[in-house]
Amino acid sequence: MTKRFPPINPKCPHFIHGGDYNPDQWLRTPEVLDEDMRLMKLSGCNTMTAGVFSWASYEPREGEFHFDWLDAAMDKIAKNGGYVVLATPSGSRPAWMSEKYPEVCRVNARFGMNREPHQGRHNHCRTSPVYREKCRIINTKLAERYKDHPALLVWHVSNEYNGGPCHCELCLEAFREWLKRRYDHDLDKLNHAWWTAFWGHSFGEWEQINPVDWSIHGMMLDWNRFNTDQTIDFFKAECEPLRRLTPDIPITTNLMGFSPTLDYFKIAREMDVVSWDSYPPYHDRSDDWKYGAHVSLAHDLNRSLKQKPHMQMECSPGVQNWKPVNKLKRPGLHIVEGLQCIAHGGDSVQYFQWRKNRGGIEKFHGAVVDHYPSENTRVFKEVSELGKILASLDDVVGTTVNAEVAILYDWENRWAIDQISGPRREKKDYQETCVEHYRSFWSSGVSCDVVNEDSDYSKYKLLIAPMLYMVRPGCAERIEEFVRNGGVFVTTYLSGIANESDLCFTNGYPGPLRELMGVWAEEIDALYDEEKVEVLAAEGNEAGLNGAYAATTFCDLVHLEGAKALAAYNSEFYKGRPAATVNHHGQGRAYYIASRNDDRFHADFYNTLINDLKLRRALGCKLPNGVTAQVRTDGQRDFIFILGFNREPVQIDLGAQKYRDVVSGVEVQSTLALPAYTTRVLEPVS
Ligand code: GLA
Ligand code: ZN
């Protein structure tokens, strides 16, 4: 049953629209605040994200607190009908703290395993009791002061937690304690799980364990797990005063898409609402729509983490400043990017940042209000246009996405793949491979969720798990059950290789999936960048494969053990061996794609599955290249978002169905002209 979720905070029954706001950088020109209020209303922004890096202005000297500027800003924003996403400031700390309590600074490899000097940001020790206590004090003060403030909408805890590990004595000690719990205080158990007999690295005492030895893959996996858990522990400590004093204010922390270092599935469990920061490198040498698809998958991930509307906490309203080349966002693309979040189930469009700062490393980063603070800039006008569109879409707030397809992306699997040495060191590209498999659904307007190895798969028709290298206990069993009950499962080369400690399976790859897949994967060939192996579709195969395809990077050599070949390699010494197979199992089936294939392979293969499984598409018709359509629904009303990432105009042939343009109210039928970089929101009319 599809339902409508309440708004992120019922105080604001609209889409949240706004940006990071730093009035503490403008204390010498207080008139800026009034001007900001005028511009805020003009741009259709309703929410400011305040205080992300404001600790030094709240507490310039230990124990001396000032909140006057924030009082003034919050009051003004409330008076003007706006809201505040209020941050806790732990992303950067005042200089006095690093000076007086050096233990708060991270010890890491970037500084030769020394403490980082006071600089930059996002570099605190997560274990330090002093840092946790200082965070508790400032967070308590903020919660006490603003708990009844009408503007307070959401807590934004810290900023972009990242996994850059801290190697201080406190963190190492906490890691060893974490290991004792994981391995039942049994060093033998740990030594076995990590296969430390290799290169003679067995540990005789817990104190000898130091997570710098990249040759012990099991240890590095546990170190990553520990860093996620320690981040969660730190996050929960930060949340404690907020939960106690403001139980009704939802809490988030801003994630970073597929950022490799922390397991977001775990962190999301502790959040009330998921949010993330999106910075795709549009207009580089690749097609814009490819980044569009990548960002779509990231939105699907963020929505799926809690299976409810998420937030886009940051994106640049204009240019970025930290890419090697920072191109201006082409006209129209910003609106596409904003509505893309909404299309995929998000309930906010927020920016870094509201007003460009005059100094500091990010002074050339895009903002709604430029150094010359005019409402006549291209960027301001485009933000304002998006503001108007968002304001006309109140009926969409809280609706959701109903996916029949799930893409399996798992952080622990990624850590394992990233560190393996072989079959290729480079171009393993787990994340990109997931996007490549997703693109066919994106191009056909079929919604997808993102799941991991611990998820429940029973509600999906199709589960796609590219490169499922690590298979943790219970996962293969749940996949088998899913297929037995009629589900369709797809996996690829480099799957079913190792367990949760990165110990290789010894029952023949794909290990615990071997019986389900009906293949034994004996060896895997790696190709140089320029090499290709031809893959030829079998005559009359049931997967819609047709003709010759090009395989690159990885070619798995499998033996059929009950599965049927759908295609075969057509060159190399393995010419004639199966390159894609299907195994019918229970009421479902399981596909093994043995090589990394070209886009045409994915299109033929997945479009056939889309038709066979009658997967719901946003629009009944074919979409032009570079365009996707995504549906949000409350079970009664469907809102179809059409997102066009093309530089040139295209046209959609809508067929017989009539629609209403939800923004303009105009009826749309037969053909829909899409100018370059454009969006439409349609509702079917009978
Ligand atoms: C990140 C940070 C912001 C800002 C932007 C710039 O997402 O959270 O503070 O630095 O990048 O793109
Ligand atoms: Zn530390």
pLDDT reported for residue 74: 98
Structural domain ending residue among the three candidates 396, 416, 447? 396
Ligand 1 atom, smallest distance to 320 CA: 12
Looking at the fold, whether 275 and 419 belong to one and the same domain comes out as no
Chain centre to alpha carbon of residue 392: 27
Q: Does 279 contact ligand 1 (Cβ within 6 A)?
A: yes
Residues β-bridged to residue 48 = 19, 84
Q: Are strands 588-593 and 488-492 parallel, antiparallel or unpaired?
A: parallel
Question: Taking 90 as the threshold, does the pLDDT of residue 163 lie above it?
Answer: no
Q: Which of 59, 116, 314, 436 is catalytic?
A: 314
- In a domain, residue 618? The reply is no
Known active-site residue 480: no
Best of 53, 158, 277 for a ligand 1 pocket test (most atoms within 8 Å of beta carbon): 277
Query: Which residue's CA is minimally distant from atom 11 of ligand 1?
Result: 352
Asked if residue 229 lies in contact with residue 223, where contact means CB atoms within 8 angstroms, the answer is no
Consecutive H or E run containing 510: none
Looking at the fold, whether 576 and 631 belong to one and the same domain comes out as no
Query: Which residue's CA is minimally distant from atom 3 of ligand 1?
Result: 352
Known active-site residue 314: yes
Asked if residue 561 lies in contact with residue 518, where contact means CB atoms within 8 angstroms, the answer is yes
Q: How far is 69 from 27, CA to CA, in rounded Å?
A: 8
- In a domain, residue 196? The reply is no
Per residue in 63-107, pLDDT (tens digit) is: 999 999 999 999 999 999 999 999 999 999 999 999 999 999 999
Computed over every residue of the chain, the mean pLDDT equals: 97
Q: Does 399 contact ligand 1 (Cβ within 6 A)?
A: no
Nearest CA among 358, 229, 337 for reference residue 291: 337
Looking at the fold, whether 639 and 553 belong to one and the same domain comes out as no
Q: How far is 578 from 493, CA to CA, in rounded Å?
A: 12
The angle at the Cα of 96, spanning 95 to 102, to the nearest 5 degrees, equals 85
Q: How far is CA 365 from CA 282, 359, 545, in A?
A: 15, 11, 46
Per residue in 378-432, pLDDT (tens digit) is: 999 999 999 999 999 999 999 999 999 999 999 999 999 999 999 999 999 999 9
Asked if residue 80 lies in contact with residue 41, where contact means CB atoms within 8 angstroms, the answer is yes
> Sorting pLDDT into bands at 50, 70 and 90, what band is 3?
confident
Sheet containing strand 83-87, strands side by side: 251-252, 152-156, 83-87, 47-50, 16-21, 348-351
Compute, in angstroms, the gap from residue 256 CA to the centroid of ligand 1.
Answer: 10
Determine if residue 237 is left, alpha or beta; phi over 0 gives left, psi from -120 to 50 gives alpha, anything else beta.
alpha
Q: If DSSP codes are grouped into helix, strand and coil, which group holds residue 254?
A: strand
Per residue in 201-256, pLDDT (tens digit) is: 999 999 999 999 999 999 999 999 999 999 999 999 999 999 999 999 999 999 99
- In a domain, residue 117? The reply is no
Looking at the fold, whether 540 and 631 belong to one and the same domain comes out as no
Nearest bound ligand to the CA of residue 87: 1
For residue 386, report the phi and psi dihedrals to the nearest 5 degrees.
-65, -40
Q: Where are the alpha helices (DSSP H) in 263-367?
A: 264-268, 288-306, 333-343
Task: Give the range of the structural domain holding residue 658, as residue numbers without chain letter.
Answer: 627-685
The predicted model gives 32-47 an average pLDDT of: 98
Q: Does 314 contact ligand 1 (Cβ within 6 A)?
A: yes
AA identity, residue 635: G
Looking at the fold, whether 536 and 484 belong to one and the same domain comes out as yes
Q: What is the CATH number of the domain that holds 551?
A: 3.40.50.880
Best of 362, 363, 364 for a ligand 1 pocket test (most atoms within 8 Å of beta carbon): 362
Looking at the fold, whether 434 and 494 belong to one and the same domain comes out as yes
DSSP structural state of residue 245: H
DSSP structural state of residue 400: B
- In a domain, residue 52? The reply is yes
Compute, in angstroms, the gap from residue 131 CA to the centroid of ligand 1.
Answer: 22
- In a domain, residue 202? The reply is no
**Pair of tokens at residue 422:** 């072989």
Q: Does 356 contact ligand 1 (Cβ within 6 A)?
A: no
Q: How far is 674 from 224, CA to CA, in rounded Å?
A: 45
Nearest bound ligand to the CA of residue 164: 2
Q: Does 365 contact ligand 1 (Cβ within 6 A)?
A: yes
pLDDT reported for residue 686: 86
The predicted model gives 112-123 an average pLDDT of: 96
Determine if residue 170 is left, alpha or beta; phi over 0 gives left, psi from -120 to 50 gives alpha, anything else beta.
alpha
pLDDT reported for residue 464: 99
Q: Does 375 contact ligand 1 (Cβ within 6 A)?
A: no
Return the residue matching tokens 């549009």. Answer: 282
Q: How far is 229 from 180, CA to CA, in rounded Å?
A: 14
Q: How many helices (H) and strands (E) does the chain have?
A: 17, 27
Nearest bound ligand to the CA of residue 125: 2
Asked if residue 319 lies in contact with residue 328, where contact means CB atoms within 8 angstroms, the answer is yes
Q: How far is 629 from 444, CA to CA, in rounded Å?
A: 8
Looking at the fold, whether 412 and 449 belong to one and the same domain comes out as yes
Q: Which of 160, 270, 362, 515 is catalytic?
A: 160
Looking at the fold, whether 381 and 411 belong to one and the same domain comes out as no
- In a domain, residue 176? The reply is no
Nearest bound ligand to the CA of residue 175: 2
Structural domain ending residue among the three candidates 396, 413, 439? 396
Q: What is the model's pTM?
A: 0.98
Compute, in angstroms, the gap from residue 166 CA to the centroid of ligand 2.
Answer: 4
Query: Which residue's CA is minimally distant from atom 4 of ligand 1?
Result: 352
pLDDT reported for residue 235: 98
Percent of the chain with pLDDT over 70: 100
Question: Taking 70 as the threshold, does the pLDDT of residue 509 lie above it?
Answer: yes
Ligand 1 atom, smallest distance to 159 CA: 8
Sign (positive or negative) of CA dihedral 194, 195, 197, 201: negative
The predicted model gives 344-359 an average pLDDT of: 98
Compute, in angstroms, the gap from residue 579 CA to the centroid of ligand 1.
Answer: 43
> Sorting pLDDT into bands at 50, 70 and 90, what band is 611?
very high
Q: Beta strands of 200-307 (E only): which ranges?
A: 251-252, 254-255, 275-277
Chain centre to alpha carbon of residue 377: 31
Q: How far is 516 from 615, CA to CA, in rounded Å?
A: 23
> Sorting pLDDT into bands at 50, 70 and 90, what band is 1?
low
Asked if residue 44 lies in contact with residue 78, where contact means CB atoms within 8 angstroms, the answer is no
pLDDT reported for residue 174: 98
- In a domain, residue 433? The reply is yes
The angle at the Cα of 418, spanning 415 to 422, to the nearest 5 degrees, equals 135
Q: Does 159 contact ligand 1 (Cβ within 6 A)?
A: yes
Q: Are strands 588-593 and 405-408 parallel, antiparallel or unpaired?
A: unpaired
- In a domain, residue 246? The reply is yes
Looking at the fold, whether 286 and 366 belong to one and the same domain comes out as yes
Question: Taking 90 as the threshold, does the pLDDT of residue 338 lie above it?
Answer: yes
Looking at the fold, whether 279 and 346 belong to one and the same domain comes out as yes
Q: Are strands 588-593 and 578-585 parallel, antiparallel or unpaired?
A: antiparallel
Asked if residue 67 lies in contact with residue 55, where contact means CB atoms within 8 angstroms, the answer is no
Q: Does 253 contact ligand 1 (Cβ within 6 A)?
A: no
Question: Taking 90 as the threshold, does the pLDDT of residue 550 lie above it?
Answer: yes
Looking at the fold, whether 412 and 359 belong to one and the same domain comes out as no
Per residue in 476-500, pLDDT (tens digit) is: 999 999 999 999 999 999 999 999 9
Return the residue matching tokens 């029973």. Answer: 458
Q: How far is CA 440 from CA 57, 434, 545, in A?
A: 49, 11, 14
Compute, in angstroms, the gap from residue 133 CA to the centroid of ligand 2.
Answer: 14
pLDDT reported for residue 364: 97
Q: How far is 457 from 478, CA to CA, in rounded Å?
A: 8
Looking at the fold, whether 427 and 495 belong to one and the same domain comes out as yes
Q: Does 277 contact ligand 1 (Cβ within 6 A)?
A: yes
Structural domain ending residue among the three candidates 557, 582, 612? 612
pLDDT reported for residue 332: 97
Q: How far apart are the first and last CA of the chain?
A: 22
Q: What is the CATH number of the domain that holds 639?
A: 2.60.40.1180
Q: Does 281 contact ligand 1 (Cβ within 6 A)?
A: no
Q: What is the CATH number of the domain that holds 256?
A: 3.20.20.80
Asked if residue 387 lies in contact with residue 44, where contact means CB atoms within 8 angstroms, the answer is yes
Number of domains in the chain: 3
pLDDT reported for residue 463: 99
